[in-house]
Chains A and B, each alone.
Chain A
Amino acid sequence: MVLRECAEKSAAFQKLKNAYTHREEAAKAAKAAGKKVVGTLGCDVPEELILAAGMQPYPIYAVPGGPMDMADKYLEYAFDPMVRAQFERIVDGSLNDFCDAVVVSNSTDVLIRIYLYLKELKRVETDVNFPPVYFIDWLFTRRRMHQERNRLTISLFKEEMEKLAGRVITDEEIDAAAVVCNRTRELLRKIDAFRTAREMKLTGTEMLVIIGGGFYMDREAYNKVLEELLEELPAWPAVTGKRLFYTGSVQTDTGLYARVEAAGAVIVGEDHDWGSRYFERDYDREMPPVRALVDRYMLREFSSKKAFVSQRVEALDRETDAAGAEGVLFYFHIYEEAASWDYPSQKESLEGRGIDTLHFAKMHWPQTQEESDAFSAGLKTLIEGKEA
């Protein structure tokens, strides 16, 4: 993790970095304090509901380089490497001592398969022990009937969370959780403005830590740390470099961003959910809770996985404009294929607007040596604007 001195010296940032690095601490502490912990898989699990039930959300992340015995046994080769590693952590028992449940949202097709496989494993391989699994079957197509259907889906999910929590989740509790989550999003947007400003004071690497740290903290404590950090940021030194927007596979650690930024660029925005998509769109407290939840998760900016090509072209144009990006890095892991169909149209639109692009598909995780060399060479071209 390449961090600047200002970040290393900031007490607020260090708290975030600690949570980002030691991801189980808060969940285990919550568990020890008698709270239930809910592992989440997919970026469309409404955390407001989990928090309202007095439970602690815990995004299940992939650990690189570990054994993959269970994934190799149960999954076909066509599951992308991060999802494989996430599946491994669920079924190898890693979560059993602190997670009470796993909630999967259908944020990509592959996660639907993971849910079905977990359900089937529970049925036929009873010796494989992992927490009970719940599923949220969102519809992302923007039509009235799908919004209505989503309201039913979220009402059913709320009932399931009530059963898990052992009590009713009141509207007031959801509202209180929404206040906390909206405050987080507001603070993150303000902080992110230091990254997207003309004079950049934050790097993409630092922003990943700031966002991801909060996933593994008590949320009110997180907001306090963000407030502290916000106070400090005006005094942080400016960073320079080619302004890049990142689109593609979720980055749950800072490795890739640090490489890009060490090569002379700054990642000023991204469309994955461990980045700026996380704080896009608030929960509208004027609406009844289920409507507000559906509105927040169904109608935020199109994800790179679940949208039509035309929607993705427009989304990326909007996002790069907002971030003031000069270039776009497309980066997709092997077997994360859907967005490959968007790329030619996106590239055409971006390049028509004077924005450079660099595309990597079918990348292993972690990269092979050959991929790593090609990545470095490509970056050099993109950043320096000449053949490496």
Chain B
Amino acid sequence: MAEEKSKSKVVKKLKATAAIGAYQKEWFAGLAERVKNGEDFAYLNADVPMEIFRAMDIPFVVNQWWAAICGAKRMTAKYYGLLNQAGYRDDLCSYCATALAESLDPDDHAIGSDGKPLGPWGGLPHPTIAITRLTCDCQSKIFELFAKNHGASFYAMENTQPRKAPLNWYEIVEDNWEDLYDTDRLDAAVEELKELIRFLEEKTGRMFDENKLIEVMNLINEQEAWYKKTRDLIAETSPVPVTVVDTINAVMQAQWQRGTRFAADHARSLYEEIKALADAGEAAVPNEKYRLMWIGRGIWHDFGFYQRFEQKYGAVFMWSMYLAMGADSYIRNHVEEDPLRALAARYIGMEDFLHMPPWNSSWFLQQARQNRIDGVVYMVPENCMQAVEGSYFIKKTLEDAGIPVLEFKADPVDARKWNAQSMTALVEEFIENRVMKGEK
């Protein structure tokens, strides 16, 4: 199969990807042990400011990371069957509802007849706390149901909309967040953090220490600064030393460890490894002709998809939001002045940067230019209102700048709905008819 032949060699070479995979397993086993020993354990949606939990040393797992693990373990068909049996629809919010579905699985912690655990990585330990933000209408409902199934305390954080939206957010966010956001919006977000801290102190008996938060925030700045260097390096290198297949996993997994020394060092090692490849002139796709940008969540159940266009066309997916968001949206300098406000300035913008026009469209264009992109493949997720993000405006912004865009619908975690053949054909047609014809 073309898929086999076109496998990027570099993906196997990157030690950083293997290292984070191994670390995650070990970390997860340690977490399960802590939970077994009676510690509180928080299950968080990705947009919850996990820095607070890190600073308070409350073990946590992030919903979207866990959904990706379940997707990669191909648990989704079973899980959606369980949702269905319980009376829920099985065609909704697949990404965010994976763990809710898993909570219905009586075998989650069981061992199979072959001696192997039946649940992914032995199953999710029972959380005592489940927290989400109200960034869409479904999330709070899913989290409340999930919390109930686990006997956990449910807590929701509010979300506000910006009144002002300067287009160049990525240029000012690191230092001038007071200019970026409405002042009252930042004030409200700080109040949300204080309320969350009060809740966690009550619930866990642990004290929140602001000095510890400063340490965590600075470690994150260190980590994300390496991502910035990595992104810039890849952007300026032709042919690219690595593809999204290499970077997505390495970065996404390490992002969930952000605020630790390990994650900052891992980001440095990722940079150094890629830099060495670039210095040695190693190409991910030696016949690189076209640089593709992937907009959307990762296709966790078919990562090979990204590589199917390399050998035939020299078309390489070299950009995804995972590395670039790390590079552009996390760093908050001079944290010491007001760490909670700096954290507020980080967490309230994340969804808007990605999902709100014009912040998303202006950034995608800036990134497409920096990375010398020849074509954009844009996956609009099915069944997710949060990811309804102004696709018209994104496409228009990019195409007005002369960059062709292929837009299609798919589900990032539900393998049942994914037709590899037709998706591959769609992208091939796009490459042949638009990218190769040099629309740009």
Residues on A facing B (Cβ under 8 Å) = 73-79, 106, 108-110, 112-113, 115-117, 120, 123-124, 135, 137, 139, 141, 143, 145-146, 149, 152, 305-306, 308-310, 335, 337-338, 340-345, 347, 361
Contact = CB atoms under 8 A, between A and B. Distances in A.
A338 B357 CA distance: 23
Interface residues of B, number: 41
Nearest to A310: B144
- For the complex, would chain B's binding face be called helix, strand, loop or mixed by DSSP majority? loop
B252 interface: no
Nearest to A335: B385
A137 to B, nearest CB: 5
A116 B358 CA distance: 9
Given A135-B161, A141-B156, A361-B89, A338 B392 contact: no
B2 interface: no
Contact of A109 (B154, B380, B386): B386
Contacts of B93: 337
A147 to B, nearest CB: 11
B137 A141 contact: no
A341 B138 contact: yes
Contacts of A344: 86-88
A113 B380 CA distance: 15
A126 to B, nearest CB: 13
B110 interface: no
B395 to A, nearest CB: 11
A152 B184 contact: yes
Contacts of B392: 73-76, 117
Interface centre among B136, B192, B388 (most CB of A within 10 A): B388
A53 B185 CA distance: 27
Given A120-B393, A141-B158, A337-B93, A110 B141 contact: no
A120 B141 contact: no
Nearest to B156: A141
6 contacts: A109-B137, A110-B385, A113-B390, A309-B141, A337-B137, A344-B88
B160 A120 contact: no
Nearest to B100: A341
A146 B137 CA distance: 17
Contacts of B356: 116
Contacts of B137: 108-109, 305-306, 337-338
Interface of B: 86-89, 92-93, 134, 136-138, 140-142, 144-145, 154, 156, 158, 160-161, 184, 188, 191-192, 195, 356-358, 380, 382-386, 388, 390-393, 396, 409
A145 B156 CA distance: 13
Contact of A145 (B142, B161, B188, B358): B188
Contacts of B382: 78
A76 B393 contact: no
8 nearest CB pairs, A to B = A344-B87, A338-B137, A341-B141, A109-B137, A120-B357, A137-B161, A308-B144, A145-B191
A168 to B, nearest CB: 22
A345 B147 CA distance: 14
Contacts of A308: 140-141, 144, 154, 156
Candidate in A76, A141, A145, A347 with the most chain B CB atoms within 10 angstroms: A76
Nearest to A108: B137
Nearest to B92: A337
B92 A116 contact: no
Contacts of B89: 337, 340, 361
Contacts of A149: 158, 160, 184, 188, 191
A341 B358 contact: no
Contacts of B358: 120, 123-124
A61 B392 CA distance: 24
B87 A116 contact: no
Given A124-B396, A309-B141, A337 B192 contact: no
Contacts of A342: 141
B96 to A, nearest CB: 10
A137 B140 CA distance: 18
Contacts of B192: 145
B383 A337 contact: yes
A282 to B, nearest CB: 26
Given A117-B390, A120-B390, A78 B385 contact: yes
Contacts of A139: 158, 160
B88 A113 contact: no
A253 B327 CA distance: 51
Contact of A116 (B144, B188, B390): B390
A124 B138 contact: no
Contacts of A108: 137
Contacts of A76: 380, 388, 391-392
Nearest to A146: B158
Contacts of B191: 145, 149
A309 B145 contact: yes
Contacts of A146: 158
A124 B160 contact: no
A205 B361 CA distance: 45
Nearest to B141: A341
